[in-house]
Structure 1
Amino acid sequence: MRKVMTITDGNLAVSDVNGNILFKVKGSFFTLHDKRVLLDAAGNPLLSMHQKMLSAHRRWEVYRGESSDLLFSVKKSSMLQVRTSLDVFHASNTSEDVCDFKIKGSWFERSCIVYLGDSTNIVAQMHKKHSVQSIVLGKDTFMVTVYPHVDHAFIVALIVILNEINEDRNDMD
C-alpha cells in the first residue's frame, strides 16, 4: 500500500494517495528529552518516541501510546556512517546480537529501505516525491510503500526517527 508523507517545519502528516490523513506526528522540541508522538487520524496517541540522552549510537526508544511499555528501540549501526544504517530491536531482544529490522538508505537522496532483520527481505521503501509543491512551498513529500502484513505505524515511526537522526548531523554523535 502506498502512503504519502509530508514534512513541513518539523510537522509530519501521513496520508493515503487520496489525501486522507492517516497519521500525524507531534513533537516536543527544545526540551531535555526529544520526544515525538505518533497520532492516528482522530488524534489518539499510538506510539511515543524518545531520544535516549547520552547514548553512543543515537538511540531512540519507542513506547506504546504514551505509556512506559517499551516496544522497540532504534540506533545507528555504527558510529561513523557515509550512508545511513540503523538497527531496530524489539524490546524482547535484550541481547541485541542480531537486529530485528535494518534501515539502509541515503537521507541526502531522501530514500531508504527497511529490511527484515539482517536479510534482503524488504518490508518497506521510501523515496522523495518531486513535485511543484515540494519545490515551490519547500514541503518535503515522500512516497512510502509498505509491504503486506507490516504495521504502518511502525514504519512511520522508523521514518520519523530516521529523519530526527539525520536532522542532527551538526551535533556530535
Structure 2
Amino acid sequence: MAKVHPNTEENCVDGVEVAGDRKDKSRVLTVWRKSLLFGCSGFTVFDEEGNLVFRVDNYGCGRAGEVVLMDAAGKPLLTVRRKKLSLGENWKVYNGEDSVDPVCSVKKKYASRLHAKAGLARVADCRRRGGRAAARYEVEGSYSRRSCTVYDERRRAVAEVRPKETARGVGFGDDVYRLVVQPAADARLAMAVVVVLDQMFGSRIPLIKG
C-alpha cells in the first residue's frame, strides 16, 4: 500500500524540487480527509517530510456550524464558523477559538447562465492594513475533482488543490490530495479555505451540521 504522506521521491511540483523550509519555494502539503482519532471525522495534514502539521477532529457532538483547525499537538489555530441568517453560504475564519474580529470570510459563488465559470468561492480579508482596502481572492476550478486554485487580485495563484499520485502515477482517490501553498501565503489560512470548500462542495457527509 502506498504511503499517504509525501516522500522524497514525490517531493516536487511539476518537476520543480520543493524544499520544505526554503522561503523561495512552494510548500506542498498532503491532505488526508480522515481523522486519526476513532469516532471522529476530519482532516489530517502532513508536510513534505511526512510530519503531522494540521488536524481537524470533529466528534458528532461538536458545536453546530463550527470546525477547528489545530496544530499537531491539538492547539487551536483557526476556527471556521458558518454565518447564520445569511443569503447563500457564508463562512468566517477566526484566530484560535475567538468569536469576534474574523480574519477572513469565504462566500460561496453560484454559477449563472451568463457566468457559468464564475468560480467556486470568494475569500475576503477582514483585516485592513495601513488604511488599504482588504485583500480579496477568487477560488476557481473543481473541488470535487480536487483541482482548484486560489487567485489574488492580480490573478496570481497563491494556493492550489491538486490530485495526489504515487511516483508510479497511481492516484490515491478523492480522500487524499495535495495542497500547494506559495511562499508568501499562509498555509493555515489555505487549509481553512480547503475546510470550507469541503463543506460547500464535498460529496461525502459534511463534518458539521447547521
For Structure 1 versus Structure 2, the TM-score category normalised by the shorter chain is 0.7 to 0.9
**1:153 lines up with 2:153 in the alignment:** no
Cα gap change, 1:71 to 1:2, in 2 (>3 Å): same
**1:104 lines up with 2:135 in the alignment:** no
**Contact 1:57–1:79 (Cα < 8 Å) also in 2:** no
**TM-fit CA distance, 1:25:** 1.3
- 2:28 — aligned with what? 2
Residue type of the alignment partner of 2:195: V
Moved more, 9-18 or 102-111: 9-18
**TM-fit CA distance, 1:60:** 0.6
Residue type of the alignment partner of 2:179: V
Q: Distance in 2 between matches of 1:108 and 1:125?
A: 14
**1:74 lines up with 2:106 in the alignment:** yes
Cα gap change, 1:72 to 1:29, in 2 (>3 Å): farther
- 2:175 — aligned with what? 140
The count of corresponding residues between Structure 1 and Structure 2 is 163
**Contact 1:4–1:143 (Cα < 8 Å) also in 2:** yes
Tell me, what secondary structure is at the counterpart of 2:172?
A: helix
Residues 108-123 of structure 1 correspond to what in structure 2 (within 5 A)?
Answer: 108-117=144-153, 119-123=154-158
Residue type of the alignment partner of 2:28: R
**TM-fit CA distance, 1:145:** 1.1
- 1:25 — aligned with what? 56
Query: CA offsets, 1:33-60, max 9 Å, x none?
Result: 3210010111110100011233222001
Q: Distance in 2 between matches of 1:30 and 1:54?
A: 22
Q: Distance in 2 between matches of 1:70 and 1:103?
A: 19
Residue type of the alignment partner of 1:7: R
Provide the aligned C-alpha RMSD in A.
Answer: 2.9
**TM-fit CA distance, 1:99:** 6.2
Moved more, 124-133 or 84-93: 124-133
Q: Distance in 2 between matches of 1:127 and 1:23?
A: 18
Structure label with greater radius of gyration: 2
Tell me, what secondary structure is at the counterpart of 1:22?
A: strand
**TM-fit CA distance, 1:154:** 0.5
- 1:90 — aligned with what? 125
**TM-fit CA distance, 1:108:** 2.5
Query: CA offsets, 1:98-124, max 9 Å, x none?
Result: 86111111023111101113x311101
The TM-score normalised by the length of structure 2 is 0.67
Structure 1 spans left out of the alignment, 5+ residues: none
Q: Which has the higher strand share?
A: 1
Query: CA offsets, 1:70-112, max 9 Å, x none?
Result: 111100123658665200111247xxx9861111110231111
**TM-fit CA distance, 1:31:** 6.4
Residue type of the alignment partner of 2:58: G
Tell me, what secondary structure is at the counterpart of 1:157?
A: helix
